[in-house]
Amino acid sequence: MKAAGKETHVQHGGPTDPSHDENLRRGIIVTEIRRGVAGAVTGAFLLLVVGVPVGQAIAEKVQGEDSVLLDVFKRAPTKETIKQYEKDLEEASYVREFVRPRFQTVITQYGHFGNAKGIIGRDGWLFYKPGVMSVAGPGFLDETAHAGRRKAALDEGEEPPHQDPRPAILAMRATLRDRGIELVLFPVPDKATMQPAMLHGRVDLTRPIPVATNLDYARFVNEMRAAGVHVFDAVPTTLQAGAPPRYLAQDTHWNPGYMQQVAGALAAFVQREIPLPKPVAPPAWKEVATTVSRVGDIVDMLKLPAGQTLFAPTTITVNVVQDQQGQPWQPNDKSDVLLLGDSFANIFSQAPMGWGETAGLGPHLALALGRELDVIAQNDSGAFATRKLLSEALGAGEDRLAGKRVVIWEFASRELAVGDWKPFPLVLGKAP
């Protein structure tokens, strides 16, 4: 274009160019990157791709360890071996081990973000994410939700879980009833149910707080009771504002005061529903107060650096149950009451959990019942772990149900939504 003897250069592709709007309508965005910038970015990417495995190999050599990187050449390439290789490589990564705790510290401190297991609540409270999702998610009897879990398991090459809890519970009830034993079901309410104000704060503290449970929880309890199962439901109708906490601030579990309160209520429920004869010689036990300190298990799940200072240890008082000679309480397999439990039964009783010994649900339930108590408890997987242990003992000829009148089955209520309710036979085998 020429004007008044001068030549004007028109730059195409700018905001005034008609082709600009046309490209946007077609979803085309033109980006120009200088050769030097492109080379620098490409070089950094290649350095990262090559540097991480090389650094990993050098670190393993220095530590005198076998290289995980070479494991891929030691196994036949199947879906299972490749998946296991990826898992081993992730767990052995020095870069991940160095970066992740520090990155988690930053996003927890400044962004109040947790991870796949931990949720940051208010005022230093932490929540277990699967537990929160079991309360806020779809109904655990919803077939659509079951289909989603089945598909996810199949996509991962795993066996789909048995998701509906009712068949396993009713089968167990029928087996026990055949032997004259009553089943008491005790789903422990989740922390998100009992401490909602510390999770999100969206509650009116001037009036009673509504209690949130899974959409299908009430239906499940009613169906179990209609089928003859004694259900001890510890979920209150409402929560009172300003009530003392029932759960540990940094842990998935209840605090010792609430646990003892529940043990007393559970004992009263059993005596009311299934009257038990008074023992000929009631055991004489005593409680001894002891203080313990640690950070909660959700702090452990956040995978923060060793020596982290974001969460200080919590100090609590637990009441250790002893006999009159000062010996710690012990379960008795000759008792007519058997407690099947998970980590809610083991906390305050198992030393490796860090919250004391012989002060958990088992000893305090025995104290409240005024009788000896048999216990089978295993952390995690309350939907099937203790049933499996009981099934294996019976199958091996050890009759853990001999002389029993009541079996109390305690498990975390989140297991109703996320557990695997696979069947296990409760059949007495021949002793070796």
| DSSP string for 62-74 | HTTPPPGGGGGGT
Band of the pLDDT at 75, cuts 50, 70, 90? low
pLDDT value, residue 23: 66
Q: Residues 102, 108: contact at Cβ < 8 Å?
A: no
- Give the list of residues 6+ apart from residue 289 with CB closer than 8 angstroms, or none: 317, 318, 319, 320
Q: What is the percentage of the chain residues whose pLDDT exceeds 90?
A: 65
Say whether pLDDT at 10 is over 50.
no
Say whether pLDDT at 61 is over 90.
no
Separation CA 191–CA 90 (nearest Å): 31
User: Three-state SS for 5?
Assistant: coil
Cite the DSSP H helix spans in 183-296: 191-194, 196-199, 217-226, 256-273
pLDDT value, residue 16: 54
Q: Rank 40-44, 67-71, 230-234 by mean pLDDT and report only the highest.
A: 230-234
Separation CA 213–CA 222 (nearest Å): 14
pLDDT value, residue 20: 58
Residue among 290, 315, 295 at smallest CA distance from 305: 295
pLDDT value, residue 93: 63
Say whether pLDDT at 370 is over 80.
yes
For residues 108-128, average pLDDT: 94
pLDDT value, residue 71: 60
Say whether pLDDT at 1 is over 50.
no
As a whole number of angstroms, the longest Cα–Cα distance in the chain is: 121
Say whether pLDDT at 18 is over 70.
no
Band of the pLDDT at 92, cuts 50, 70, 90? low
Q: Residues 218, 139: contact at Cβ < 8 Å?
A: no
Q: Which two tokens stand for residue 333?
A: 């397999």
Length of the chain: 432
Q: What is the percentage of the chain residues whose pLDDT exceeds 70?
A: 82
Please report how the helices 94-111 and 35-62 are oriented relative to each other, as an axis angle in degrees rounded to 10: 110
Say whether pLDDT at 313 is over 90.
yes
For residues 123-148, average pLDDT: 95
Say whether pLDDT at 15 is over 90.
no
CB atoms within 10 A of CB 308: 17
Torsions phi, psi of 273, nearest 5? -80, -40
Band of the pLDDT at 52, cuts 50, 70, 90? low
User: Three-state SS for 400?
Assistant: coil
Q: How much is the mean pLDDT over the chain?
A: 87
Q: Residues 271, 369: contact at Cβ < 8 Å?
A: yes
Say whether pLDDT at 2 is over 50.
no
Instruction: Say if strands 337-341 and 314-323 run parallel, antiparallel, or are unpaired.
Output: unpaired
For residues 162-181, average pLDDT: 96
pLDDT value, residue 9: 47
pLDDT value, residue 44: 82
Specify the residue for token string 């592709």.
Answer: 13
Beta bridge partners of residue 341, listed in sequence order? 377
For residues 201-225, average pLDDT: 89
For residues 348-372, average pLDDT: 96
For residues 118-127, average pLDDT: 96
pLDDT value, residue 327: 95
For residues 137-144, average pLDDT: 94
Say whether pLDDT at 51 is over 90.
no
Cα-Cα-Cα-Cα dihedral sign, residues 74, 78, 81, 84:
positive
